[in-house]
Amino acid sequence: MLESATRLGPYEILSPLGAGGMGEVYRARDVRLGREVAVKLLPESLSGDEQALERFRREARAASALSHPGICTVHDVAEEAGRPFIVMELLEGHTLREILREGALPTEKLLDLAVQMADALNAASVKGIVHRDLKPGNVFVTTRGQAKLLDFGLATLDPAWAASESGASASPTEERLTSPGTALGTVAYMFAEAVTIFRNALRGDRDGVVIRVEGARRHQLPAPRPQRPGPAAAAWRAPPPAAPRPHRARVGAVRSEVSS
């Protein structure tokens, strides 16, 4: 852990905010602008891990590509003594996981957070970015009641889908943020399709909101999932389903059925 007054370029470390397997987060001061920020560093033990480094870079690229009140803003990305770090807006409040430990949420508050999360995920999907690791620990609720999505380290980017939605042409050099065919996420929060077909990733974010809302309503966090029968476990054994029809085609089919 870094000590207070440590300098990372123009950022002065003030105090630790938290630490996990993929990062250490500190309260810091940008001495140029005189504002406080949050600085996330890759743990020193992972500084030589290429996979961890790539995930860290992916988080910075995905989050910095988005501008939405429901997504934590990335201010800067830099490196100090071989350790990359991300500079983000400093949030005051608690994660949804911490809030749920205190008890069930009122229905009105629950629906408000659900709408905010869905709106943020929609903004990301317009850019072709799917979060893929939506869980209470990655949803921050500020003191003003604003829900903020955190940790885009497992996000995936579909440039062709994003281009089709925006009407722009897809760049052949656009990268995918995660390797095709790799099942990533937090198992307790994964939906079955996540382990069978990744072209359904957008549905994963959508269903993720439903799971989080239902959990908040019942004041339940998903229990750990050992190897036992269940949708995700069954999906590992089952052959992959056929690819779904494009979203626009499904909408057209529904409209035809309604009109007839």
Q: What percent of the chain has pLDDT over 70?
A: 60
130 CB neighbour count, 10 Å cutoff: 29
Query: Are 50 and 157 contained in the same domain?
Result: no
Query: Are 109 and 83 contained in the same domain?
Result: no
Query: Are 232 and 117 contained in the same domain?
Result: yes
Q: How far is CA 169 from CA 162, 165, 172, in A?
A: 9, 10, 9
Kindly report each contact of residues 14-22 with a partner whose C-beta sits within 8 Å and lies 24 or more positions away, as own/partner.
19/43, 22/46, 22/52, 22/55, 22/56, 22/153
Q: What share of the chain is helix, strand, coil (3-state, %, to 5)?
A: 40, 20, 40
* Residue 214 falls inside a structural domain: yes
Query: Are 128 and 78 contained in the same domain?
Result: no
What per-residue confidence (pLDDT) applies to 215?
57
Query: Are 211 and 228 contained in the same domain?
Result: yes
Query: Are 69 and 180 contained in the same domain?
Result: no
* Residue 37 falls inside a structural domain: yes
Rounded to whole angstroms, the Cα distance separating 105 from 32 reads 40
Cα angle value 182/136/209 (rounded, 5°): 75
Query: Are 210 and 114 contained in the same domain?
Result: yes
What per-residue confidence (pLDDT) applies to 19?
86
What per-residue confidence (pLDDT) applies to 142?
97
Report the amino acid identity of residue 152.
F
Rounded to whole angstroms, the Cα distance separating 148 from 131 reads 13
pTM, 2 dp: 0.67
In the listed set 89, 121, 146, which residue is the last one of a domain according to the structure? Answer: 89
What per-residue confidence (pLDDT) applies to 226?
47
**Residue 205 known to be catalytic:** no
Using DSSP, state whether 209 is helix, strand or coil: helix
Rounded to whole angstroms, the Cα distance separating 141 from 213 reads 14
Query: Are 72 and 32 contained in the same domain?
Result: yes
Rounded to whole angstroms, the Cα distance separating 217 from 213 reads 6
In tens, the pLDDT along 72-99 reads 999 999 999 888 999 999 999 999 999 9
Query: Are 79 and 138 contained in the same domain?
Result: no
Give me the number of domains the chain comprises.
2
What the block records as the tokens of 47 is 């500084």
Residues of the chain with pLDDT under 50: 162, 166, 169-183, 187, 191-202, 211, 225-228, 236, 243-244, 246-251, 254-255, 258
Query: Are 65 and 142 contained in the same domain?
Result: no
| Phi, psi at 36, each rounded to 5° | -90, 145
Query: Are 234 and 114 contained in the same domain?
Result: yes
In tens, the pLDDT along 35-70 reads 999 999 988 888 788 888 888 888 888 888 889 999
CB neighbour list of residue 194: distance below 8 Å, 6 or more residues apart = 132, 183, 185, 200, 201, 204, 232, 235
Domain that holds residue 23: 7-89
Annotated catalytic residue, options 30, 49, 119, 133 = 133
